[in-house]
Structure 1
Amino acid sequence: MSVKVYERILDLFEAEGINTLFGIPDPNFVHLFHLAEERGWNVVAPHHEESAGFMAEAVSRMTGKAALCIGTLGPGLANLAGAIMCAKVENSPVIFLGGQRARITEQRVRRGRIQFVQQMALVENSVKYSASIEYAEQTDEIIREGLRKALSGTPGPVYIEYPQHVIQEELDVPPVLPPEAYRLVGQTAGADLVAKAAELIGAAQQPVLLVGHGVHTSRAGASVKALADLMACPVIQTSGGTSYIEGLEDRTFPYGFSAAAIDAVVKSDLCLAIGTELGEPVHFGRGRHWVANEANRHWILVEQDPSAIGVNRPIDVPLVGDLRAIVPQLVDALKDTPRTPSPELEGWIKQDADQLAELAETAPSGMSPVHPARLIVEATKAFPEDGIMVRDGGATTIFGWTYSQAKPHDVMWNQNFGHLGTGLPYAVGAGVAAGGKRPMMLITGDSSFQFHIAELETAARLGLPLVCVVAVDYAWGLEVGVYKRTYGQGSLETGVHWSKDTRFDKVAEGFGCYGEYVERDEDIAPAIKRAYASGKPGVIHVAVDPKANSEEMPSYDEFRTWYAEGQQ
């Protein structure tokens, strides 16, 4: 069949189940955008290309598939750079398509060329693969190689560009191939190693299941739930794996921030780790809380990248492949011999529930401005049961780890890279992936919220059920705390304070959203409910106490241990 290059590109992505794109169209892309919308794709144009990249990443996390983001030549690609780097560190399989001037422009010896820079060299260290469609006939092989690289081993972003003279060339091509015809899909582990893993699980007295970010981005919750039921043990969340699996909420404990989690880890004699790199936030699986029983603990690691096995710690049984295929293998191996529940499991469940209840009771109240711990308690108590939670900010997120009363099944935040400003774009992308049918709550600091505040208009245009709860101290709260710890109280705090005249509720109204100002504890939850009821995206401006926000971050000492600095 005869098709244009831009048509074929859409065909190839549709074969992978991709039907959403983010970007700002320019002459390079108008034909592709127009055809995508005609075909029923979700075509979302935000106000900044970096936002587009974060939105695409959120779609990937919500669907378990690769996602697509487009940036125009020159400044568009420059704006995408932060999102590309973020996707690399967050292990997100996003395909970034970039336009470029015709190659004759690049090859000429000229100065003063408009909207031109050599783009591939700028991004090659931030992607798993970069290529250019130099000839129309390369379209299939390069797009497929991009998808192959993005989804193989540790997932990650790729960059593909095409010069503007290529996009409308004609191709005579056969029908597109399904994914399994050109890349490895559903890789399982060897039966011998699965059997060895099942044997270790059966012999363990105090096993733990360590669940990371990859479990949720692969949408593997149901099969992991079946495995956890057979293992009858506590589920320990990494800091990236903070989405709760439905049915496991009561026995899922956050590593390092739950006393039950710490006790379970210290006493464990087996750890089955799924969807995690065993990085600094879990002390590489061999430092801090893991030290006490190291000599008696076996490790099973489910890992898609064979070159990652044994890098951060020795592994007894490596299960290399797609966790979506390997976890069902383990379930099948254990189904006839389920474990008796760990003897202390009920006690840990009660300990964790009591800790959460105590935090809700003891979070300082009655203050105006509001104590940030109380903001988290009141906001998360009002979190919708079927909602999507999005986090952003420094001090605000640290308060959230400890004081959150919600156990959401989908959590979006930028854990590995620590990129601020992702919250609002992540929320828009997650909302698009959910078809606008699930309520969302963004809990963010004020400084982070301002990075991409223009995307409030995008949320309003799309009619997304989003409420943004903004902790406002008119400062970079975490950095203020660093100044105080470094130089003492009353020291000069350079570059961390900003205007106290800003009202985010009024800004929201200007974008066609619902806005409300709050400065008392008891008004937070009612304001959130009114925002949801308004039928518009909402922004709740919550004035928080700046002294508490910078000086009273809970578990801050635990957070600092993530930065190993060669000590682990």
Structure 2
Amino acid sequence: MKTVGEALIAHLEKRGVDTIFGIPGVHTVEMYRGLADSAIRHITPRHEQSAGFMADGYARATGKPGVCLLITGPGVTNAITSMAQARADSVPMLVISGVNRVATHGHEEGFLHELPNQHAMMSEVSLWSHTLHRAEDLDRVLTRAFTVMTSARPGPVHIEVPLDVMKQMVDVPDLLPPLPQPTRPAIEPLLETARLLNAAQRPLILAGGGAVGAASALRVLAERFDAPVVTTTNARGILGGSPLELCASPSLASVRKVMAEADVVLGVGTQFGRTDYDMYEDGGSPDLSYLIRIDCDAAQISRGRVPDLPIVADAAIAIAALVDVTGGISKTHDAEQRVMDCLDAAIAEIGETYAAQIAMLHMIRDVIPGVRIVGDSTQAVYAGNLVCQMNRPRSWFNAATGYGALGFGAPAAIGAALGDPEAPVVCLTGDGGLQFVMSELGTAMDEKTPVIFVVWNNNGYQEIERFMVDNAIKPEGVKPTAPNFLQVAQAYGMPGERIEGTATLASALERAKAAGSAYLIDMIVD
């Protein structure tokens, strides 16, 4: 028999959790009783919002759920922003929090960290929130949590454990209940999809973040039908540098032209969200001649673009099955030339400033082979979301789409480096965004994560300032003073350097690689 706090850790370990992000407090210490003797690594950020962003980065890099352990009240409210970002981007995240004793709920008698109804508040931002009232329910509650956040459309879930329930005694079973298997497609819509793609003269594939797990099979399918693959932000690199990947935003006129010309479109794991398909809110996204849509969530497949042929199934399973039923097919549609022409038009469309920033991103990719670039909301990241070619899946992600939380970059990069330590990580953040989470430089040093932090330092919120000017608004509030980032890094023991402009970034990256530790490059740009 173990306390619920100890049993919780044992359950997580049995489910393959190897890392937990959290800041201990009096409302969670009972859960820490079993943590020190487990195989789970505990990471202590400086703020609970960063704990959530680290869990997010870990999940995006590994494909496994990120797990947070937070105190009640301010702990969970601090994490709401990161949970909302995870929900917007379909990132699996388990947030476990304490809560005051059951008998105190709803009375508002001034207990420490008390909220009127924490469960109700968390229900609004998570896919599912549950209060554990009985020790004997722990097993099935965790099973449901893992089912909800990894089945259908992934996202954040929340479990709160009252202080008195944490100390109750419970058995930890040797065998945990199995999780439901991913949804498999029916054969009929797959055969119809194969027929339509075979008959198409200009087939096109739209791949979103939900298609990442299907990367290998999707490449085979694209090559078999000679179909360009337009990748949204969270799918960049899904074809591993293939000339069939049209790594440009479907919000661009050049890409929309290709979409409009397609006679059959296969959408895989994409929400058809506005920040991917209509980021300029011009309403110019084209009608599609015939849309087949593969999505793991029946509710999601009815949002956005309603398909002519819906297939509710796990993307990896569905695409692998499509590969099986289309064996022997080999089509030629001049797709590589269409992709090259579209990319050339996209670069011309976005203008010289963004084109130069995209060239810088490609330089980072080439100087640091296998790099994962984790971004914050900053100019060069906006440029990369428009056009950026990466060489493998899960190597480009940021918070400049969907929910759009500032301060995502640094903690998410740390989480990604912890989850996949073999892949080098560059965090591209602005001077404004880094100031949201500057203390996490200390976490990078504590955990010895060799993240290279590149600060796009234009001394303010320049993108917002430009937007104000373009809309005849006198700029206000867009010039927060930046500190000397180099001195801040050095205060945490982190080496670094300051450079002027992008011309010497390549050599600075070489020095950062050689340092073998976290490193900060403060890049002053105009």
* TM-score normalized by the length of structure 2: 0.91
Counterpart of 1:245 in 2: which secondary structure? coil
Distance 2:126 2:251 in 1: 33
What's 1:98 paired with?
97
Answer yes or no: is 1:529 the counterpart of 2:510: yes
- State the 1:408 CA deviation: 5.2
The answer to whether the Cα contact below 8 Å between 1:259 and 1:351 also exists between their aligned partners in 2 is no
Q: Rate the CA distance shift 1:40–1:494 in 2: closer, same or farther, 3 A.
A: same
1:499 matched to 2:498? The reply is: no
AA partner of residue 496 (structure 1): V
Pairing 1:381–2:347 present = no
Give how far 1:3 is off.
2.9
Residue in structure 1 matched with residue 24 of structure 2 by the alignment: 25
> 1:363 touches 1:377 (CA, 8 Å); kept in 2?
no
Contact 2:459 2:479 (C-alpha < 8 Å) held by counterparts: yes
User: Displacement, 1:17?
Assistant: 2.5
Q: Secondary structure at the match of 2:456?
A: strand
1:97 CA displacement: 0.5
Contact preservation (8 Å) 1:253, 1:261: no
Deviates more, 1:462-471 or 1:49-58: 462-471
Choose the corresponding residue for 1:206, options 202, 205, 214. Answer: 202
Partner residue in 2 for 1:9: 8
Q: Does 1:481 align with 2:471?
A: no
1:449 matched to 2:434? The reply is yes
1:419 aligns with 2:405: yes
Query: Structure 1 residue aligned with 2:223, among 223, 229, 233?
Result: 229
Find out whether 1:112 has 2:110 as its counterpart: yes
Contact 2:414 2:449 in 1 (8 A): yes
Name the structure 2 match of 1:562: none
CA contact (8 A) 1:15 1:178 kept: no
Mapping of 1:10-409 within 5 angstroms?
10-33=9-32, 35-106=34-105, 111-117=109-115, 118-180=117-179, 184-216=180-212, 219-246=213-240, 248=242, 251-256=245-250, 261-280=255-274, 281-283=276-278, 288-291=284-287, 294=288, 297-336=289-328, 338-343=329-334, 345-351=335-341, 363=352, 374=356, 376-378=358-360, 380-383=362-365, 384-402=368-386, 404=388, 407=391, 409=393
* Cα distance between partner residues in 1 of 2:146 and 2:124: 18
1:310-339 C-alpha deviation (Å, 9 max, x unpaired): 432332221112112111111111122x23
Q: Distance in 2 between matches of 1:90 and 1:357?
A: 26
User: Contact 1:234–1:253 at 8 Å: present in 2 too?
Assistant: no
CA contact (8 A) 2:452 2:512 kept: yes
2:445 alignment partner, one of 457, 460, 467: 460
Please state whether the residue corresponding to 2:42 is helix, strand or coil: strand
For normalisation by structure 1, the TM-score amounts to: 0.84
State the 1:75 CA deviation: 1.5
Paired with 1:110 and 1:214, the residues of 2 have a C-alpha distance of 42
Alignment of 1:549-564 (within 5 A): none
Shift of 1:451: 0.9
What code does the residue aligned with 1:169 have?
Q
Distance 1:314 1:120 in 2: 33
Q: For residues 357 and 271 of structure 2, what CA distance do their matches in structure 1 show?
A: 32
User: Structure 2 counterpart of 1:455, which letter?
Assistant: E
Tell me if the contact between 2:498 and 2:521 (Cα under 8 Å) persists in the aligned partners. yes
Contact 1:309 1:318 in 2 (8 A): yes
C-alpha displacement of 1:138: 1.3
The answer to whether the 8 A contact 1:97-1:160 is kept is yes
Instruction: Report the CA distance shift for 1:37/1:202 in structure 2 as closer, same or farther (over 3 A).
Output: farther
Instruction: Map Cα deviations across residues 328-386 of structure 1 (whole Å, 9 max, x no partner).
Output: 111111122x231213x2322443565699899x957xxxxxxx764553354033221
Q: Give the unaligned 5+ runs of structure 1.
A: 365-371, 546-568
Partner Cα distance (1:91, 1:197) in 2 = 26
2:98, 2:436 → 1: CA distance?
25
Distance 1:481 1:499, change over 3 A: same
Alpha-carbon distance in structure 1 between the residues aligned to 2:488 and 2:355: 25
- CA pair 191-405 structure 1, distance change in 2 beyond 3 A: closer
Over the matched positions of the two proteins, sequence identity in percent amounts to: 26
CA deviations over 1:57-104 (Å, ceiling 9, x no partner): 122222223221111122211211212222222222211111012223
Q: Answer yes or no: is the 8 Å Cα contact 2:231–2:249 preserved in 1.
A: yes
Assess if the C-alpha contact under 8 Å between 1:21 and 1:70 holds in 2.
yes
Mark the CA change 1:10 to 1:324 in structure 2 (over 3 Å): closer, same or farther: farther
Amino acid at match of 1:388: R
Kindly indicate whether residue 506 of structure 2 is the aligned counterpart of residue 518 of structure 1: no
Cα distance between partner residues in 1 of 2:434 and 2:476: 21
Structure 2 Cα separation of the partners of residues 403 and 196 of structure 1: 33
- Structure-2 change in CA distance of 1:479 and 1:520 (3 Å): closer
* 8 Å Cα contact 2:28/2:97 also seen in 1: no
- In structure 1, the partner of 2:523 is 542
Contact 2:357 2:383 (8 Å CA) reproduced: no
Q: Name the SS for the 1:522 alignment partner.
A: coil
2:285 & 2:278 partners in 1: Cα distance? 8
Once the two structures are overlaid, the 10-residue window that deviates more, 136-145 or 260-269, is: 260-269
How far residue 405 of structure 1 moved from its aligned partner, in angstroms, is 6.5
Q: Number of aligned residue pairs: give it.
A: 518
Q: Deviation of residue 202 (structure 1)? A: 0.9
Q: Which amino acid aligns with 2:35?
A: A
Cα distance in 1 for partners of 2:410, 2:234 equals 18
Which secondary structure state, in structure 2, belongs to the residue aligned with residue 240 of structure 1? Answer: helix
Give the Cα separation in 2 of the matches to 1:483 and 1:27. 46
Q: Does the 8 Å contact 1:260/1:349 carry over to 2?
A: no
Gap change, CA 1:254 and 1:506, over 3 Å in 2: same
Hey, what's the Cα distance between the residues in 1 that align with 2:448 and 2:316? 33
Change (3 A) 1:412 1:331: same
- Partners in 2 of 1:193 and 1:498 — Cα distance? 55
Amino acid at match of 1:395: Q
Shift of 1:287: 5.9
- Give the secondary-structure state (helix, strand or coil) at the position aligned to 2:129: strand
Contact 1:379/1:524 (CA < 8 Å) preserved in 2?
Answer: no
For 1:433, the aligned partner's letter is: G
In 2: Cα distance, 1:75 partner to 1:103 partner: 18
Is 2:425 aligned against 1:440?
A: yes
Secondary structure at 2:235's aligned position in 1? coil
* CA displacement at 1:250 relative to structure 2: 5.4
Instruction: Say if 1:404 and 1:263 are closer, same or farther in 2 by CA, change over 3 A.
Output: same
1:5 offset after TM fit, Å?
1.6
Secondary structure of the equivalent of 1:138? helix
